[in-house]
Chains A and B, each alone.
Chain A
Amino acid sequence: MRRVKLFFFLVAVLGLATVTACTKVISSESSLPSWHPEALPEGRADCTECHEDTVKGVLKPYASFSHSTVFIKNHRYYAGQDNRLCAVCHKPSFCNDCHANELEVKPSVMHGDRPDREMIHRGDYLSRHQIDGKIDPTSCFRCHGRTNNEQCVACHR
C-alpha cells in the first residue's frame, strides 16, 4: 500500500514538473490558422500579392512560398520543413494525387482537364520509364522504392 502511495506521489510530482517545464519550454505564440481565411484565385498562388515580411511561426519570408515554377519543381525541400504551412491551403488529398502508398491512376489521367498543372508521367510513360529509370533510378525511387509500386510488380518481380 505504501509503495502504491509512493508511486502515485512520484507520478504526481513528475506530472507537475512536466507541466511546469512545458509551460516554460513551449512557445506561447498563437498557431497558424487552420485554413486560409479567404478563397484564393485559380492558378499559381503568389503569397506576396497580399502578404509581406515573414510567415508567423514558420519564420521565413512569404516570398519563399510563392508558387513559382522553381517552387513547384522543388517542393520536396519545403514540405520536409514546413508541411504545416502547406496544410493551411492544401488538404492532404492534394498531395495524394501524386504521393500515395497505392495510387489508382496516373495523376495526369485523374486531372486530364488540367494540363496547366505540373503532373509527372504525361503521355506514354510506359515506353519512357525504362529510359528515365536507366538515366536516373533515384528519381523513381522516391515514389516507387518502398510504396506505390504495385503496378511495377506486374513486370519487375
Chain B
Amino acid sequence: MKQCVRLMMLAILGVPSVASAVDLGVDSTTLIRLEERSVPGFSKEQVYPATQFLGIDLDKLGDGNLSFHLYGWGRLDLADKSTDEGTTDADLSYAYLAYRFPQADAQVKLGRFFVYEGVAAEQVDGVSARTDLTHGFAVSLFGGAPVKLDLTGDNKGDYVVGGRLAYRLPGLLELGASALREGGITTGESTDLKDYRQLVGGDIWLAPFKIMEIRGHSNYNTATSGFAEHSYLLQVYPVRPLTIVAEYNDYRLKDYFATTNLRSLFNPDRDETLRSYGGSITYVVAKPLEVTADYKRINYHRADRGNTNRFGGEVRLTLADRKVRTGLSYHRADSAQSANSYHEVRGYVMYRTTKYSASIDAIGHFYDEKVLGARDTDYEVLGSLGYHILENLAISGDLGYGRNPWYDKELRGVLRLTYNFNYSSKGAAK
C-alpha cells in the first residue's frame, strides 16, 4: 500500500514539469453497496462498503507525444466489515508515463502498467517498449518488478522480463514468438519448483481465405519442461450473417499451474491433463436479432472429476436505435458427476437514452443436487434505474433480491455516481 502511494505521488509530482497545453480526462465512479445478508442460525449482517474508483488521463504533455495515465480505487466500510481484511483497502491498478512516437507505433511506458504480449499477462512496475520494424516485423520488450498482492504475494518474484517478436504478412498471416522470465520467486516449503518462472510461446493469426481465420497460441514452460497450453480457434464466415467457430484447448496442469500462489486450489503436483473442444454457431437473423448456439466438451483427466458437456443458446434483440437491448439464454452443464451438473436461465431487458436508463436482469440456476446440502436452486433479480443529472454526471441505483444455498435471503442495493470530465485543448475530445 505504501509502495502504491509513493509511486502515485512520484508520478503525479512529475507531471507538471512536462505539462503544457494538455488534454485532461477524469473518470470517477463512486459505489456505495448496501447489503443485508441473512444466514439461518446467525445474526443478520449489514454491509455498506463505499468505494471510489478514479482514473486520470493527461495527454499531449511535453512535445505532445507524452501522456500520463492513472487508475485506482479505495474502499471504506461504513458498517460491518465487507471482507475478512480491515475496514479499508485500496489498490493502484496503473500509473505510468507513456511516450508515443509518430512513426512505427513505437511506444515507451514507465511506471506501473499491464502487459499483454504473447505469453505475458502481467502487472509490472517497470518499463516497456515496442516498435514496428521494416519488412513486417515488430518487437516489444518489458522488464521490472511484478506487482504483488497484499496477502498472497509469496509466490511472485523480484523481477520479471519478457518480450515478443512478430512477423506479419498483410491480410494473411501473423506469427509471434514470446518469452517471459520471472526470477527470485519464493517457492515455499512444499514444492520442488525452481526459484524462477519461465515461459516461451508461439502465437498465430492466419486468414488463408477471406471467410476464414485461425487464431491460437502454444505456451511451453521451460522451468518444468512441458507444454502448458495449446489453444486454437477457427472462425468461418460462409455468408455474412453466419459465423461458425470451432475451438480446441489442451492443458497439462503440472506445467500450466506450476507457479500459482494458491497451491491449495491449483495443485500442480498432480500430473493431470485437461482437454476441451467445441464450437458455436451465430446467426444474425436481421441486424437487431442475433441467435447463438454453443457446445463445449471438457475432458478433465482426473478420476473424481470426469467429463462435462456444456451446451446452450442465446437470443439477443436490439431495438429503437440501440436504446432497447434484451437477451434470453439457456445453458446446461451436464457433468459425469451429478453434483457438478446444472441448468442456467437468464433474461434481461434494458432501456438506455442519453438522459435515462432502466433495466431488469434475472438469473436462475437449477442444480441436479443440493449445494451445501441446503438448496438445489438459486436466483437473483436485479433492477436498475439511472439518470443523467448533467451530460457528464450520472446517478444510478440497483436493487437486487435473491435466494441461494448460502443465504435464505440476500437483499443488495448499489448507489452509483459517475463523473466523466474531458478537457481537450484542441480537436475532438477523448
Q: Are B261 and A68 in contact (CB under 8 A)?
A: no
- Within 8 Å of chain A (Cβ to Cβ): is B8? no
User: Using an 8 Å CB-CB cutoff, how does the interface string of B311-336 with A read, 1 for contact, 0 for none?
Assistant: 00010101000100101000001010
- With a cutoff of 8 Å between Cβ atoms, the chain A residues found around residue B150 in the complex are 102, 150
Query: How many angstroms between the C-alpha atoms of A123 and B106 in the bound complex?
Result: 42
Known: A31-B100, A57-B132, A134-B340. A26 touches B106 (CB 8 A): yes
Q: Are A101 and B123 in contact (CB under 8 A)?
A: yes
Interface range, A side: 35 or more
Chain B residues 85 to 128 lying within 8 A of chain A, measured CB to CB, are 85, 89, 91, 93-94, 100-107, 113-114, 116-118, 121, 123
**Candidates A74, A101, A133, A136; contact of B276 at CB < 8 Å:** A136
Query: How many angstroms between the C-alpha atoms of A59 and B372 in the bound complex?
Result: 52
Known: A80-B118, A116-B348. A147 touches B262 (CB 8 A): no
Q: Are B100 and A34 in contact (CB under 8 A)?
A: yes
Query: How many angstroms between the C-alpha atoms of A156 and B152 in the bound complex?
Result: 11
Q: How far is the CB of B372 from chain A (nearest CB, A)?
A: 7
Q: Are A31 and B243 in contact (CB under 8 A)?
A: no
Chain A residues 108 to 157 lying within 8 A of chain B, measured CB to CB, are 109-110, 112-116, 122-124, 126-128, 130-138, 140-142, 144-147, 149-154, 156-157
- Within 8 Å of chain B (Cβ to Cβ): is A51? no
- Within 8 Å of chain A (Cβ to Cβ): is B46? no
Q: How far is the CB of B191 from chain A (nearest CB, A)?
A: 14
Q: Are A81 and B282 in contact (CB under 8 A)?
A: no
- Within 8 Å of chain B (Cβ to Cβ): is A61? yes
Q: Are B378 and A27 in contact (CB under 8 A)?
A: no
User: Using an 8 Å CB-CB cutoff, how does the interface string of B281-317 with A read, 1 for contact, 0 for none?
Assistant: 0100000001010000010100001001010001010
**Candidates B51, B114, B149, B360; contact of A102 at CB < 8 Å:** B149
Chain B residue nearest in CB terms to A102: B91
Q: How far is the CB of A9 from chain B (nearest CB, A)?
A: 27
Q: Are B305 and A113 in contact (CB under 8 A)?
A: no
Q: Are A116 and B327 in contact (CB under 8 A)?
A: yes
- Within 8 Å of chain A (Cβ to Cβ): is B198? no
Q: How many residues on the B side are at the interface (Cβ–Cβ under 8 A)?
A: 139
Q: Are A113 and B359 in contact (CB under 8 A)?
A: yes
- Within 8 Å of chain B (Cβ to Cβ): is A32? yes
- Within 8 Å of chain B (Cβ to Cβ): is A7? no
Query: How many angstroms between the C-alpha atoms of A30 and B104 in the bound complex?
Result: 6
- Within 8 Å of chain A (Cβ to Cβ): is B248? no
- Within 8 Å of chain B (Cβ to Cβ): is A4? no
**Candidates A24, A83, A123, A156; contact of B265 at CB < 8 Å:** A156
Most chain B Cβ neighbours within 10 Å, of A39, A57, A59: A59
Q: How far is the CB of B367 from chain A (nearest CB, A)?
A: 8
Further contacts, 19 of them, CB under 8 A, given A35-B430, A123-B365? A27-B104, A37-B427, A68-B282, A80-B116, A81-B118, A92-B69, A92-B94, A96-B114, A104-B51, A104-B73, A113-B359, A124-B380, A127-B404, A131-B339, A134-B337, A137-B257, A140-B266, A145-B266, A147-B149
Q: Which 5 A-B pairs have the closest CB atoms?
A: A115-B348, A124-B404, A115-B361, A112-B398, A123-B363
18 residue pairs bridging A and B, Cβ less than 8 Å apart:
A27-B104, A31-B103, A60-B174, A70-B245, A78-B215, A96-B93, A102-B149, A109-B414, A112-B416, A116-B350, A122-B363, A124-B410, A131-B333, A135-B298, A140-B265, A142-B121, A149-B261, A156-B265
Binding site for B on A (CB under 8 A): 24-32, 34-35, 37-39, 41-43, 54, 57, 59-61, 64, 68-70, 73-74, 77-81, 83-84, 91-93, 95-96, 99-102, 104-105, 109-110, 112-116, 122-124, 126-128, 130-138, 140-142, 144-147, 149-154, 156-157
